[in-house]
Amino acid sequence: MKGCVIALDEVAGRKAAALIVDGRLQDIRIDPPENDPSPEIGEICRAKVARAMGGQGGFMVTLPDGRSGFLRGVKGLEQGASVIVQVMGYAEGNKAAPVTTRLLFKSRYAIVTPAAAGFNIARSIRDEEDRDHLLELAHEAMEGAPEDFGVIIRSASAEAADEDILEDVSAMRALAEAVVADVTGAPELLVAAPTSHEVAWRDWTSPMPDEVVESPTAFADLGVEEAVDALLSPRVELGGGAWAMFEPTSALVAIDVNTGGDLSLAAGLKANLALVRDLPRQLRLRGLSGQITMDLAPMPKKDRRLFEDKLRSALRSDATDTVLAGWTPLGHFELQRKRDRAPLHEIWPS
């Protein structure tokens, strides 16, 4: 199967979406269970400041339904004060969800940014005439907005009609204005997190896919179910008899690379580079984040720079912020990856 396909389906009564490129699963989303009390990434809430966390440089806040959030990077808040926050990361176990006051109202064509003034065009849109025209549309749609409001025109706008862009930006602006004005009161959900189908239409349609399949058998017909079965196994084949084991623990994600029967340094380098090529996709699909420690196959120390360069290049096109922490004294390589989704093995129905 060639080309880009978006599959929209349901799994155990929950909406789910998959992105398939040239027959290979690239991303997958599934809505959480209805009884899941965890804050959802992207939702915007009115919260109450519970207490300062001086040693951690932030505040604990109370979210709707008694849930907890941790707000970092702000000062001067008083206990009991109302504040509007957006959930920005996945909360493990009973931990507080990371939240921010830097709200993002994200749609297919634009991101409206209250308290972050400025007009920006996606860097992927390179034609100067197109950029100038989109900037004019942005100014038109944002005319009369508060002075501290800004907007980012997304890459999908390059293929959109003017009226669609104007309607989209205007809708996000109106929503943002209503939300930021609604600061007084008890903790309350103001904007729900997007569903998996909404994420697919918003984030996977630039460029437009070759096909969108919405069907109760889409996952089965397109091989998504088989791909997920493989993702729920820790083992990933790397070719040439080599493999890697992805094993999440409560403290970190451990990745162990093995070369099979070939114990040569050349085989080790080959296996490590094979891991690098597929690492962003595997982490994204498995929903693995936080501290990631790689126990690589033995390879010459002189090739460590090559490994780092290939890893950095592979991660460049990945949307999730990932920091290369570097080599440990024992020769492991560590990453720190933003928790922007729940682990697949925790949310996929058994």
Q: What is the 3-state secondary structure (H, E, C) of 231-256?
A: HCCCEEEEECCEEEEEEECCCCEEEE
Mean pLDDT, residues 133-143 taken together: 97
- Residue 259, classed as helix, strand or coil, is coil
Q: Which residues pair with 37 in a beta bridge?
A: none
Average pLDDT rounded to a whole number, residues 37-55:
92
Helix (H) or strand (E) holding 49: strand 44-53
More confident residue, 260 or 8: 8
pLDDT digits 0-9 by tens, 155-164? 999 999 999 9
Domain 44-100 annotated CATH 2.40.50.140: yes
pLDDT given at position 92 = 78
Query: Residue 349 pLDDT more than 70?
Result: yes
pLDDT grade, residue 1 (50/70/90)?
Answer: low
Q: By C-alpha distance, which of 291, 329, 67, 48 is closest to 184?
A: 48
Residue 286: closest CA among 218, 223, 229: 229
H-helix or E-strand spanning residue 170: helix 162-180
**Packing angle, helices 265-286 and 304-316, rounded to 10:** 20
Query: Looking at the predicted structure, is the pLDDT value of residue 54 above 80?
Result: no
pLDDT digits (tens, 9 = 90+) for 64-100: 999 999 999 888 899 999 999 999 998 877 789 999 9
Distance CA 82, CA 49 (A): 7
pLDDT at residue number 178: 97
Domains of the chain: which residue ranges? 44-100, 105-194, 232-347
Whole-prediction pTM = 0.93
Of 76-80, 188-192, 301-305, which gets the smallest average pLDDT?
76-80
CATH topology for 232-347 is Aminopeptidase (3.40.630)
Is 3.30.230 the CATH classification of the domain at 105-194?
yes
pLDDT of residue 157: 96
* Cβ–Cβ < 8 Å for 184, 152: no
Residue 348 has pLDDT above 80, yes or no: yes
Query: For residue 179, what are its two tokens?
Result: 């939300």
Amino acid at 239: G
pLDDT bucket at 350, cuts 50 / 70 / 90: confident
